[in-house]
Amino acid sequence: MQEPSLETIEDYNGKESSEKRLTVWIVVLSGLLIGAVYGIIMSNSTVSDLIVDKDTTGIVKY
């Protein structure tokens, strides 16, 4: 049994089909787009830092 070499792989050294190249670009760009949208949403959302109400504990912070 002989192991495959790089020269026998159909996608080696720039010989890939244009359809495969387009698919890779679509996957990469869609991942970047989803990450950008998620980042924008997370940076614009506010989170309350309030853990416990003053009325619940009875402790007044000055």
Mean predicted confidence (pLDDT) in 7-30:
86
Buried/exposed 25-56: b ≥16 CB within 10 Å, e otherwise: eeeeeeeeeeeeeeeeeeeeeeeeeeeeeeee
Q: What pLDDT shows up at residue 62?
A: 64
Residue range 30-41: mean pLDDT, rounded: 96
Q: Is the pLDDT of residue 29 over 60?
A: yes
Give the Cα-Cα-Cα angle 33, 31, 45 (nearest 5 degrees): 55
